[in-house]
Chain A
């Protein structure tokens, strides 16, 4: 799922300094799971903002809402009535959600309340780690289900760089070396021979974000 972290309160206060009435909108999906922008966090952030603005002598009225998925137009539409009552929206959904609201409400400024960081999984309670960079051509079949695009600091496709120490990455010491994980996994599967294959250079400029905006069109689903 998409992972995000709340922006510093000071930064958010700066965005909102010329507004007295805002909507603080969360999202019931990914950011709820990573506890950055769900209903609970919306409540906490709204209180923190109200208190801070009270202290500054410029009280802030903050309405709260948490649609099920802020990145879907029909859920954004549900916010229409509330948005009409406010001067600006602070969204603590991921960057996609922020843009859905911005597109939907052309006359209302929409600010991001979180930094969207990565597509990741929960490692343990309170710890999330990047797992996928949406590279556009998944090669997990060749690497034992461990992604070298997201998890190897040098995005190597043909084995380790030689710098890992005790299974940890030489660039990010706290992270496991992706190629150690790939080796362990292929070894466990009895498929070490797969490391002998040369994985050719990726077609970054065709498949990945480097080709410009990517888009999926499913004719069978269009109405």
Chain B
């Protein structure tokens, strides 16, 4: 069953994020992807995440697909204008890729090429609109396409938002659904309670939600996230576990496992973001019986 078929038939999906290298040595990418073969439904390949210049999502997706591994191609608005974005979507389709994660993307000023000019041509609503239009057989200017691409389109939602920011997110989701979104990935969440509030609020949309969880490697990392990532609130109980951990990897798996068990009944899938601990993914899935 493909990622799309699983989501459409209401089955729980497992996704893991795999960062392309800075450079062209793909040995680790292949190693991790092989390790995850048969364990995850799709591998999600970011596109210039955090505005760090690295190998793009497209080549990694094409190479992994060639090896029979299902992938999710990522495309963000911040570095390409509408010609390049649409052409890239056609490239993706020509290579036989279907799953998309379309994102606003990170501003270059936060990355390693902070002197770069951002491209502010389309916002993510515009990019979603472009994907929709291409699937209808036209480009954004209404010109006919020779051969229509077919996509399965996802985007991100900030499910950890609170108060009026959450209301804005819900409004935003509704607009994104109107632009043809088939599924949502949440940003990383660490508290099942927050996910529950969010899921209840958006249940009426009936669009699959895949929750993202970042593997917590240390107390330092957890504190950093709490301080710098908007909306992130890693509970004290989790920080306590990390503090007392004698085997950091084992504790990491336990924390993530607890979260996934609590989140599973609330949503339609999980994305594991391993940030360097890719080798832990199978053990984590074993632990939660996925």
Contacts and interface: CB of A to CB of B under 8 A. Distances in A.
Interface stretch (B104-112, B199-207, B262-270): B104-112
A162 to B, nearest CB: 4
Contact of A201 (B78, B126, B168, B171): B126
Contacts of A111: none
A155 B119 CA distance: 10
A165 interface: yes
Contact of B175 (A153, A161, A198): A198
Contacts of B244: none
Interface string B158-172: 100100110011011
Interface string B116-148: 001011111110010000000000100000000
B247 interface: no
Q: Is the interface of B mostly helix, strand, loop or mixed?
A: helix
A158 B107 contact: no
A158 B120 contact: no
B78 A154 contact: yes
B65 interface: no
A155 B168 CA distance: 17
A163 B169 CA distance: 12
A196 B124 CA distance: 15
A171 interface: yes
Interface in B43-67: none
Interface string A126-163: 00000000000000000000000000011111111111
Interface string A159-185: 111111100001100000001000100
A156 B104 contact: yes
B230 A163 contact: yes
A196 B107 contact: no
A160 B168 contact: yes
B179 A198 contact: yes
Nearest to A155: B120
Contacts of B149: none
Contact of B107 (A154, A159, A164, A199): A154
A201 B107 contact: no
A162 B158 CA distance: 6
Interface residues of B, number: 31
Contacts of B187: 162
B276 to A, nearest CB: 23
B82 interface: yes
Contacts of A164: 165, 230
B232 to A, nearest CB: 11
Most chain B Cβ neighbours within 10 Å, of A153, A183, A201, A204: A201
A200 interface: yes
B174 interface: yes
Given A198-B179, A201-B82, A201-B140, A158 B123 contact: yes
Contacts of B109: 153, 171
Contact of A170 (B124, B125, B126, B230): B230
B178 interface: yes
B171 A195 contact: yes
Given A162-B169, A165-B230, A198-B129, 4 more contacts: A156-B123, A157-B123, A157-B126, A163-B230
16 contacts: A154-B118, A154-B123, A157-B125, A158-B175, A159-B175, A161-B104, A162-B230, A162-B231, A163-B230, A170-B110, A179-B168, A195-B168, A196-B174, A199-B125, A201-B82, A201-B121
Interface of A: 153-165, 170-171, 179, 183, 187, 195-196, 198-201, 204
